[in-house]
Structure 1
Amino acid sequence: MSEKPIRGMLTLDQLKQKVAAEEIETVVVAFTDHYGRLTGKRFDAEFFLESAVEDGTHGCDYLLTTDMELEPVPGYKLANWELGYGDFHLVPDMSTLREASWLPGTAIVLCDVENDKTHDYVAEAPRSILRKQLGAAAELGYDCFAASELEYYLFENNYREAFDAHYQDLKPRGWYLEDYQILQSTRIEDFTAAARRHLKHSGVPVENSKGEWGLGQHELNVRYAQALTMADRHIVLKQCMKEIADRMGISLTFMAKFHAERAGSSCHIHLSLWQDGENAFAGDQQFGPVAGSDAFRWFLGGWMAHVPDVMPFYAPTVNSYKRYVDASWAPTRLAWSYDNRTAGFRVVGKGSSLRIECRIPGADCNPYLAFAAALASGLDGIRNQIEPPEIFEGDIYAAKHLPRVPYTLTQAIEQFEQSEFAKTAFGEDVVAHYLHFFKKEQEAFDQSVTDWERKRYFERI
């Protein structure tokens, strides 16, 4: 597939010209940690051109072994106190070089993480994990295109105010449900218009934005792309929107479930395989109400079959599982249907636009891991000709006989740990690394005392 030049993306020569004209003075050089957070350094633009373009830079390898608070967590094979917490090599992927329109005089480039001695990809790095699955797709003759739809909640409070208030009693920027409603979304258009504009000028082509179902909840959608490019766009989008909000004195959250009484925030993943410039899912075979190819059918079968094996890659936090509530727009059971929003897997489009939408991941997912899980599962379906179940028509929330997504991170971890498929697809070292990460995340929650406990037990126990 040929793509038009993307506004905001930079070639090396264009960067040199902008640096010489003092239009760009800073280059952010970054990669993502387990949580999907951008991590890295800011370079003087001239020094970046002199040094980092060719040589890359270094970062402490503990960055793939920390918790949310950046505390080094013992027990990882990749990096630990015994090994002295050395460096790994951050290699700029110059195809990701772009202007950061929302930051004056700044460009940004995303990095692959390499072993400092062998210069192989660090297998445990999220971008490496997706690269491996894209390589597996290429071996079968496929490329993968994807899109992720991110939802978020917007608040009048700035981030510092929210922090000081312990994230309690925040004031949403909407005061009634506004799904698709233009009037209420107009009231926050100062933020959303800025986000659309800056994303468009930062190499992230925007399609549209809309109000969502929760109070102050919104969605901003960008154009689909090759899966690695789309994951990169996803990361840039989150960084851009958080930093715009911070500058405007407001805040937003990509938590999967911000409030027990409000809708969760999802990251619906749209995915299709392509071959020789054509959508490999398109075909004439009738499958329920959908005409598609064997590749489409088997990919769907594998994707669905392996959800239990890779669930933590879709729902990585304790909070993720609070989103799976019946009749809340979040999927609770494993079924597929055609254009049915109660389904975990919703098939949409036809012909060259035929694709599978997985509604299971939340807005808290790391896109590299979620895309890799989806791709590994679907490719296994093609290799082994895994048939999906019969199409389900009707209210899937009411179909209590269907298999359910895990209720908790603990359940998901147990299934991930027992999965031979996960070990084969990602490698035993990668699975062990992320098992340790997810278990420590669960352990941190298990040892905490929550507001719910104080409210319930302080006086009345």
Structure 2
Amino acid sequence: MTLKGMLTIAELHTLVATEEIETVIIAFTDHYGRLVGKRVAADFFVEKTAVEGTHACNYLLTTDMEMEPVAGYASANWQKGYGDFHLVPDLKSLRIADWLDKTAIVLADIHHQQHQLESIAPRSILQHQLRGLNELGYNAAGASELEYYLFENSYRQAHEQHYHGLKPVGWYLEDYHILQGTRTENFHGRVRRHLQRSGVPVETSKGEWGLGQHELNIRYTDVLEMADRHVVYKQCLKEVADSMGYAVTFMAKYAEDQAGSSCHLHLSLWKDGQNAFAGEESFGGVACSPVFRWFLGGWMKYTPEIMPFFAPTVNAYKRYQDASWAPTRLAWSYDNRTAGFRIVGKGESLRIECRIPGADCNPYLAFAAALAAGLQGIKDQEEPPEAFSGDVYAAKELARVPTSLAAATELFVQSVFAKKAFGEEVVAHYAHFFQTECLAYEKAVTDWERIRYFERI
């Protein structure tokens, strides 16, 4: 049975014929995880685009946040003339965009001129890892838990105020508070309904541990579909907020005196319809299989080398503060929120929750990094360290996560594992992207500097 809001191409034909759908968005994510693409007249989409795809300028995977083309990429540059790549709609991702008028949305794979997946595209990178997993007989199921801040200011107002003096929807910490949640039901009730009707089934929404911070969780599924749901979810929340005169941010650390916003990744492997992590062995108090141990061992071992795929911005690293609910050290433990790797569930629900990624991550890259590391762990039968008991924040002997994007990028560039897992072309491409982000930050003069030095230096 088709999930509510998901469409077959035949169903889309019918909705177009009855003028219930007039526009189809075809989109993909850039490095930052932003959706970019085109709006296509629905009748043209069903006649042409659904069959032949469409084109977009290949500079879209070489730009910075301001959409300026960045020199130094091998894939596209001024010398090559910034040509096109081919957008191939993945019709399995076709769904109603319920928050928009008479609109559907489909996510696209990027093909290069030889009509093969463009290796540097985020969705392609995840698909490459999934193929490697499938070759070993496994499928991956996952979920990404997103946190965000909601403000009574519009995006335009926030911009005009230089993002100063914004008014969060809450005025005291509202973690799990039903009363504060009720105050935002005009927004959260609306987005829950829109997501449900857009093939993104919702589990819960709740207040979080920050002023105006919330979390809305959607149901787990296979990892590629989960990453698709993640980007549709973010687009829905931003566009609904915009339509209501609100603003929502997925910055990893919006303010130094407020909790960071995370993207906890939940992962389990499945084989022949059963959870491959479940088993009879007792390890750190967890009844598990050797596959669980090895996957966890690989994920933990290689996290420092693939950290930019979990924390891709300069801002992301400001989230890693002790006693902040964000992990600062590499450890695993059962149901312990101070650990970077929290094990939850049992039997068929047994899974690894990685609390390291921030809400600013690109889900395709984050899931790809997790799978690549875990897959290598299975191949090498990599054993994880002993389970940690107690407050991980206080365990100064444990290795820390990288403390800056620059440091993490250096580990990524030097990583033999990353080059093997993703290919040298992908590592070089994304290293350049992360280095460009670091350079942009290093040149910027911040409010912190003006406040500190303007008069008193």
TM-score bracket for this pair, using the shorter chain length: over 0.9
SS at match of 1:362: coil
**Residue 114 of structure 1 pairs with residue 108 of structure 2:** no
Rounded Cα–Cα distance in structure 1 between residues aligned with 2:364 and 2:86: 19
Q: Pick from 182, 199, 203 the counterpart of residue 203 of structure 1.
A: 199
Aligned to 2:423: 427
What's the TM-score once normalised by structure 2's chain length?
A: 1.00
Aligned to 1:170: 166
Rounded Cα–Cα distance in structure 2 between residues aligned with 1:346 and 1:395: 13
Counterparts of residues 152-301 of structure 1 (less than 5 Å): 152-301=148-297
What is the deviation of 1:406? 0.8
Rounded Cα–Cα distance in structure 1 between residues aligned with 2:380 and 2:330: 20
Aligned to 2:102: 105
**Residue 311 of structure 1 pairs with residue 307 of structure 2:** yes
SS at match of 2:78: coil
**Residue 96 of structure 1 pairs with residue 93 of structure 2:** yes
Rounded Cα–Cα distance in structure 1 between residues aligned with 2:235 and 2:66: 18
SS at match of 1:283: strand
Rounded Cα–Cα distance in structure 2 between residues aligned with 1:237 and 1:440: 28
What is the deviation of 1:213? 0.4
Aligned to 1:125: 121
Rounded Cα–Cα distance in structure 1 between residues aligned with 2:269 and 2:212: 35
What's the TM-score once normalised by structure 1's chain length?
A: 0.99
Q: Pick from 429, 440, 451 the counterpart of residue 436 of structure 2.
A: 440
SS at match of 1:284: strand
Query: Structure 1 segments of 4 or more deviating over 6 A?
Result: none
Aligned to 2:30: 33
**Residue 72 of structure 1 pairs with residue 72 of structure 2:** no
The CA deviation string for residues 289-347 of structure 1, in whole angstroms up to 9 with x for no partner, is 10000000100000000001100000000000000000000000000000000000000
Q: Pick from 32, 53, 58 the counterpart of residue 55 of structure 2.
A: 58
Q: Pick from 435, 453, 459 the counterpart of residue 455 of structure 2.
A: 459
What is the deviation of 1:5? 2.8
Q: Pick from 21, 41, 52 the counterpart of residue 44 of structure 1.
A: 41
Give the AA of the match of 1:217. Answer: Q
Aligned to 1:360: 356
Aligned to 1:17: 14
Rounded Cα–Cα distance in structure 1 between residues aligned with 2:295 and 2:46: 43
SS at match of 1:341: coil
Rounded Cα–Cα distance in structure 1 between residues aligned with 2:186 and 2:339: 34
Give the AA of the match of 2:49. Answer: A
What is the deviation of 1:288? 1.3
Aligned to 1:385: 381
SS at match of 1:306: helix
Percent sequence identity is: 68
Give the AA of the match of 2:47. Answer: E
What is the deviation of 1:145? 0.5
SS at match of 1:370: helix
What is the deviation of 1:36? 0.4
**Residue 345 of structure 1 pairs with residue 345 of structure 2:** no
SS at match of 2:361: coil
Q: Structure 2: state its 5+ residue gaps.
A: none
Give the AA of the match of 1:49. Answer: V
Rounded Cα–Cα distance in structure 2 between residues aligned with 1:215 and 1:288: 36
What is the deviation of 1:6? 1.0
SS at match of 2:206: strand
The CA deviation string for residues 257-313 of structure 1, in whole angstroms up to 9 with x for no partner, is 000000000000000000011100010011011000000010000000000110000
Rounded Cα–Cα distance in structure 1 between residues aligned with 2:379 and 2:402: 26
What is the deviation of 1:56? 0.1
Aligned to 1:399: 395
Rounded Cα–Cα distance in structure 2 between residues aligned with 1:436 and 1:408: 16
Aligned to 2:410: 414
Rounded Cα–Cα distance in structure 2 between residues aligned with 1:374 and 1:47: 39
CA-based RMSD? 0.5
Aligned to 2:78: 81
Rounded Cα–Cα distance in structure 1 between residues aligned with 2:278 and 2:426: 34
Rounded Cα–Cα distance in structure 2 between residues aligned with 1:209 and 1:36: 22
The CA deviation string for residues 122-146 of structure 1, in whole angstroms up to 9 with x for no partner, is 0000000000000000011100000
Rounded Cα–Cα distance in structure 1 between residues aligned with 2:186 and 2:255: 25
Give the AA of the match of 1:315. Answer: A
Rounded Cα–Cα distance in structure 2 between residues aligned with 1:143 and 1:289: 25
Rounded Cα–Cα distance in structure 1 between residues aligned with 2:419 and 2:159: 39
SS at match of 1:429: helix
Rounded Cα–Cα distance in structure 2 between residues aligned with 1:376 and 1:6: 29
SS at match of 1:407: coil
Give the AA of the match of 2:269. Answer: L
SS at match of 1:194: helix
Q: Structure 1: state its 5+ residue gaps.
A: none
Rounded Cα–Cα distance in structure 2 between residues aligned with 1:6 and 1:164: 41
Give the AA of the match of 1:371. Answer: F
SS at match of 1:111: strand
What is the deviation of 1:50? 1.1
The CA deviation string for residues 355-413 of structure 1, in whole angstroms up to 9 with x for no partner, is 00000000000000000000000000000000000000000000000000011111101
The CA deviation string for residues 204-233 of structure 1, in whole angstroms up to 9 with x for no partner, is 000000000000000000000100000000
Give the AA of the match of 2:249. Answer: T
